[in-house]
Amino acid sequence: MFEGIKKYENCFETKKTGSGEEKLVLKDTTTCRELEPLISSVSENVDDDSAYKYTKNFIDKVVENYDEIKNLKDDSFKEKIDEWADADTDIYTSNLTEWLNKSVKNVAYLDETIQDFEPSDAGEALAFSQTLSIHEAYDKAYDFLKNKK
């Protein structure tokens, strides 16, 4: 599983936009363009900036932990995704509200959290919402990348 993942580890770069804002983008190589369908799939559920960030983070985590995870079965790997999503969730409310403000898609995660999980306060609701979005992105990345050669 994930035998070909290393070829994607350097596929992202930061570029400045016309307004001077830095954005994470894919490098324009044949190998890196193979990730476009994945990023498009992830961005169906989150803002574009988060789609790139989450995809890059997932690839980085798989590469960094390859020896530990290469023989995991689906269920065990899903537990690893749970752990990674929790670890990648922002802890500061200002970062969470910034994430929420990026897209109405992110608001949908907040709505789901409030309806399904009954958080104890706004901070917990925001954190859990972001965790859900990261988890879903990592699930998509897993499904897309696990058998890439």
pTM, two decimals, is: 0.90
- Taking residues 120-133, report their average pLDDT: 94
Phi/psi of residue 46, nearest 5 degrees: -135, 170
Give the 3-state secondary structure of residue 42: helix
Give the 3-state secondary structure of residue 47: coil
- Taking residues 8-36, report their average pLDDT: 92
pLDDT of residue 4: 81
Number of Cβ within 10 Å of residue 106's Cβ equals: 21
State the distance between the two ends of the chain, measured CA to CA, in whole angstroms: 9
Residue with the larger pLDDT of the pair 47 and 125: 125
The DSSP element (H or E) to which 26 belongs, if any, is strand 22-26
Give the 3-state secondary structure of residue 148: coil
Decide if pLDDT at 40 tops 90: yes
- The C-alpha atoms of residue 53 and residue 145 are separated, in whole angstroms, by 16
Decide if pLDDT at 99 tops 90: yes
Q: How confident is the model at residue 72 (pLDDT cuts 50, 70, 90)?
A: confident
